[in-house]
């Protein structure tokens, strides 16, 4: 009787934040369910963006997180990279030899309002005039200012726990904040859903392209691993994310572009894609809401949405923030 083949060691590259580690743990469980014999090793990967505490737009954006992991994957230091799809730039091609083989089932795409623990604020409308709201997202900034032009948006970065400490610490934290806007999916992943006071519906704050989606990437020639990862792919998520990503690519959008996009599959199987591009203060915007009569062609829907947005002046908003 022949012996079983030796268990494979699988090295997963990850950032070192609690959020990234939680996501890695989630993927590890999914992989072990497919193959309990896998020996999975977590490899911490530091990036230039992780060491930078200022505005990411001056360093290459959140795409630096992706770049650091992809470099380690390409060199063979790791076997698998996990990416939050919303952090993957739309204007930069994959490194040679790498391939995204799976999109996990999408988590909650919505944004949430978080306030200090003992605050009586329940909704955005409850915040006082001129309230200071923390977010480093240009997409959130523009849409919050559309809803409440009086708000003072404070650029706040860092791990979710660090941002919550700033919010709860007040003057002791040297930053005065009345609220934060964070991803609902991230709060859930960290067991912090109780901190959300208001969860914004998507017609209030349109999500980021790829929001709530974890993507799995490996080397193209690693066909055995690719075959394993493909079993984790969620087809509907892939279809919807494809429409959003093609729209982003058509706009040549990057991680610091004021772009939002969200595709859903209707009960009839047809796709509906909403896209918006904003000026920094939200006063000018381009928008498109398209429905596909060809449910199996999400790329065509995304390309159509990009064309429609560009016809409304989206390029000027992305490049300069100039009003239409």
Quickly state the pLDDT bin for 90 (edges 50, 70, 90).
confident
In angstroms, the CA 126 to CA 220 distance is 51
Strands (E), the chain: 9-14, 39-44, 80-84, 98-103, 111-114, 132-134, 152-154, 179-183, 196-199, 214-219, 259-265, 271-278, 285-291
Q: DSSP assignment, residue 128?
A: P
Give the DSSP letter string of 138-199. Answer: HHHHHHHHHH-TT-EEE---S-HHHHHHHHHHGGGGT---SEEEEEHHHHHHTT-GGGEEEE
| Residues above pLDDT 70, as percent of the chain | 89
The single residue of 4, 55, 79, 87 carrying the catalytic annotation is: 87
> pLDDT confidence of 53, banded at 50, 70, 90?
very low
55 assigned to active site: no
Query: H or E stretch including 245?
Result: helix 235-250
Mean pLDDT of 279-305: 91
| Choice between 235 and 62, residue whose per-residue pLDDT is larger | 235
* Confidence tier at 293 by pLDDT (50, 70, 90): confident
The 10s digit of each residue's pLDDT in 63-89 is 677 999 999 999 999 999 999 999 998
pLDDT, average across residues 188-209 = 96
Question: Is it the case that residue 255 has pLDDT exceeding 80?
Answer: no
Confidence label for 92 from pLDDT (cuts 50, 70 and 90): confident
CATH superfamily ID and name for 9-105+212-233? Periplasmic binding protein-like II (3.40.190.10)
Distance, in Å, from the CA atom of 15 to the CA atom of 21, rounded to the nearest integer, reads: 7
In a 13 Å sphere around the CA of 148, the CA atoms on its Cβ side amount to 19
Closest CA to 290 of 320, 319, 313, 311: 311
Is there a common fold for 111-199 and 243-319? Answer: no
3-state secondary structure of 116: coil
- Range name among 47-56, 122-131, 219-228 with the lowest pLDDT average: 47-56
Which residues make beta-bridge pairs with 83?
215
How, if at all, do strands 9-14 and 39-44 pair? parallel
Is there a contact between 198 and 213 (Cβ–Cβ < 8 Å)?
Answer: no
pLDDT at 323 over 50: no
* CA within 13 Å, CB half, 72: 22
End-to-end CA, the chain: 74
What's the full length of the chain, in residues? 324
pLDDT value of position 3: 56
Q: Is the pLDDT of residue 59 over 50?
A: no
Mean pLDDT of 109-119: 95
Taking the C-alpha atoms of residue 303 and residue 200, their distance in angstroms, rounded to an integer, is: 27
Report the distance separating Cα 235 and Cα 170, nearest Å. Answer: 44
Instruction: Please tell me the predicted confidence (pLDDT) of residue 176.
Output: 86
CATH class name, domain 243-319: alpha beta
Q: Which CATH number fits domain 111-199: 2.40.50.460, 3.40.930.10, 3.40.190.10, 3.30.70.370?
A: 3.40.190.10
Question: What pLDDT is stored for residue 296 in this prediction?
Answer: 77
State the average pLDDT over residues 296-315: 95
Instruction: Give the separation between CA 28 and CA 37, rounded to whole angstroms.
Output: 12
Q: What are the φ/ψ torsions at residue 143 (nearest 5 degrees)? A: -75, -35
Mean pLDDT of 114-143: 95
Q: Where are the domains of the chain?
A: 9-105+212-233, 111-199, 243-319
């Amino acid at each position: 009787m022949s012996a079983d083949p030796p268990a494979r060691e699988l090295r997963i590259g990850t950032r070192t934040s609690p959020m990234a580690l939680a996501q890695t743990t989630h993927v590890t469980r999914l992989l072990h369910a497919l193959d309990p014999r896998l020996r999975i090793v977590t490899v911490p990967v530091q990036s230039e963006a992780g060491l930078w505490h200022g505005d990411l737009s001056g360093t290459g954006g959140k795409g630096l997180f992706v770049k650091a992991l992809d470099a380690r994957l390409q060199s063979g230091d790791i076997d698998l990279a996990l990416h939050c799809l919303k952090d993957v730039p739309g204007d930069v091609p994959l490194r040679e030899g790498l391939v995204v083989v799976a999109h996990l089932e999408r988590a909650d795409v919505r944004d949430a309002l978080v306030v200090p623990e003992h605050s009586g604020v329940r909704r955005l409308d409850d915040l006082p005039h001129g309230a200071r709201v923390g977010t480093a997202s240009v997409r959130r900034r523009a849409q919050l200012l559309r809803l409440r032009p009086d708000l003072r948006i404070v650029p706040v970065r860092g791990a979710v726990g660090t941002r919550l400490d700033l919010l709860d610490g007040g003057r002791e934290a040297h930053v005065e904040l009345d609220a934060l806007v964070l991803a609902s999916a991230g709060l859930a992943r960290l067991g912090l859903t109780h901190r959300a006071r208001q969860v914004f519906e998507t017609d209030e704050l349109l999500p980021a392209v790829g929001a709530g989606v974890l993507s799995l990437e490996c080397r193209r020639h690693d066909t055995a691993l690719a075959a394993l990862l493909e079993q984790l792919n969620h087809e509907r998520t892939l279809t919807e994310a494809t429409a959003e990503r093609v729209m982003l690519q058509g706009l040549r959008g990057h991680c610091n572009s004021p772009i939002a996009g969200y595709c859903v599959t209707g009960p009839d199987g047809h796709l509906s894609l909403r896209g918006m591009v904003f000026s920094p203060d939200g006063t000018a915007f381009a928008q498109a809401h398209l429905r596909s009569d060809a449910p199996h062609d999400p790329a065509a829907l995304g390309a159509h949405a990009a064309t429609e947005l560009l016809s409304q002046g989206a390029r000027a908003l992305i490049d300069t923030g100039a009003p239409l």
